[in-house]
Structure 1
Amino acid sequence: MFQRDYFMRMIEQMSVVVGQVMGLRRERKQEEALLVIDELLDREFRLNAKLIRSLSDRDLIAMMTRSGIVETANVYAIARLLKEEGDLNEELGRPERSFPSRLKALHLFIRLALLDAPAVLKTPTEEADELLARLGEYELPVETKQLILEWHEAERRYDLAENVLYELMEDSVLTKEDADEFYRRLLLLPDEWLEAGGLPRDEIIDGQKRLHV
């Protein structure tokens, strides 16, 4: 009961804060909106934006884990605030601040999706998809691509996973053996999963053959 009450309180609080930030954005008061985000981070989590930027997504997840259970509502709140911070800094013409905020938010939302965390304002996957679209013009770090590959495969978006797989091969991070193992995993899955995931069995077999040409 306590966890459910806390989760509902976080949903309500995030709705209020996001509404407040959006209102300030409409009034072109982005700097004030950034202060609102900093104040909430400090009040709820004793974390300021500077500290969050210095911690990895793994560190943040670890900080929000109690007795082996990830406090997903807290992680979601931090990720959503980072996402809002990224949007505000973009509007202020600060891509050097917008990019890292969005990238860290993307990592956190993907990790929440991999944990099958419940939705707060949106599902983690919906949030991550939006961020990925906004980051589309950038060359993403290798570790981000690796996380995206794991996420797409877990979400059964096998065609998208294959695209990232080949990007990582071009980056000389993954090998033909890694790609072959990816295809082998998929061949163990039902045909309906593969069809729905955009990578039918015959295309997987063709992909395997191309690896050995």
Structure 2
Amino acid sequence: MIQKDYIMRMIEQLSVVLTKILFNKETKNYTQALLEIDSAYENLLGFDPDYIKAMSEGEILGMLESNGSIDAEKPIIIAELLREEAEIKELKNGLNDNVLYIFLKSFYIYVEVIIYDSRYKQKEYLKKLDKIVEKIIQYELPNQIQFKLFQYYEIIGCFGKAEDILYELIDLKYPNILFECKSFYLRLLNKSDEELLNGNLPRNEVNEGLDHIDKMSIESADKTNTK
């Protein structure tokens, strides 16, 4: 009960902050909007905003991890604040490299939280992710973001797009990618035919993909053994 009250309190406080940020964005008071974000890092999370901004997405999640688990409320707040910061700076300066980097950090953390805690697989967050994806797919993305994009497409049921990214990552020799591919296809076998068709990856193509990955795994193992 105490934990639930704590979560509700954080969500309510974040909602107040986001309302203030939105007001300042709409009135083009971008400097004040950014100050509201900095205050939120300090008041909601107890973090120095400059410290968070200097950290990578992986470092942020690692900092919030305790005994192998993450309190999902803090990273979702960070993802929200990063997204708001990126949107404000885009309004001021356009989608430059710095703004893109902030969007990527936000995207990575959003996806990680949704995978970890299904409570956040809500339209509210998925709509925000959709908007970020529209921006970032125009660019050549780092491999770890590509992998998060694959996970995002699987989350929203776009299985054909998810598969396309996996094969790009195979070409890039992304770590453990054959295992990830096989796990993906095995998860899809538990979906209904309707879900697979809606995701643009019918069951026969899932089975073909699984066979193909099995063959690739055998070939990869043979090459390793002959070295």
Global fold match (TM > 0.5) = yes
- The residue that corresponds to 1:202 in the other structure is 204
State the Cα deviation string for residues 142-191 of structure 1 (Å, max 9, x = none). 11111222343355432121121133244454799568736753674344
- The residue that corresponds to 2:14 in the other structure is 14
Alignment of 1:134-213 (within 5 A): 134-153=135-154, 156-173=157-174, 181=182, 185=186, 188-192=189-193, 193-205=195-207, 207=209
State the Cα deviation string for residues 58-113 of structure 1 (Å, max 9, x = none). 32223223454421111111100000000000011152331111110100000011
Shift of the 180–34 alpha-carbon distance from structure 1 to 2, 3 Å rule, reads closer
- The residue that corresponds to 1:62 in the other structure is 62
Deviation at 1:133, TM superposition (A): 1.5
- The residue that corresponds to 1:87 in the other structure is 87
Higher helix share: 2
Report if aligned partners of 1:42, 1:48 keep a CA contact under 8 Å in 2: yes
In 2: Cα distance, 1:69 partner to 1:174 partner: 23
State the Cα deviation string for residues 97-132 of structure 1 (Å, max 9, x = none). 311111101000000111134249955444322211
Aligned length: 212
Deviates more, 1:176-185 or 1:14-23: 176-185
Where in structure 1 are there 5+ consecutive unaligned residues? none
Shift of the 101–177 alpha-carbon distance from structure 1 to 2, 3 Å rule, reads closer
In 2: Cα distance, 1:176 partner to 1:14 partner: 37
Percent pairwise identity: 25
Instruction: Indicate the structure whose relative CO is greater, using CA pairs within 8 Å and at least 6 residues apart.
Output: 1
Amino acid at match of 2:77: A
Secondary structure of the 1:118 match is helix
In 1: Cα distance, 2:31 partner to 2:113 partner: 29
In 2: Cα distance, 1:200 partner to 1:121 partner: 25
Deviates more, 1:5-14 or 1:194-203: 194-203
Deviates more, 1:201-210 or 1:58-67: 201-210
Q: Are positions 1:98 and 2:96 aligned together?
A: no
Q: What RMSD over aligned residues (CA atoms) do the two structures have, in Å?
A: 3.1
- The residue that corresponds to 2:108 in the other structure is 107
- The residue that corresponds to 1:43 in the other structure is 43
Deviation at 1:47, TM superposition (A): 2.5
Where in structure 2 are there 5+ consecutive unaligned residues? 216-227
Secondary structure of the 2:119 match is coil
Secondary structure of the 1:132 match is helix
Normalising to structure 1: TM-score of the pair?
0.82
Secondary structure of the 1:28 match is coil
Normalising to structure 2: TM-score of the pair?
0.78
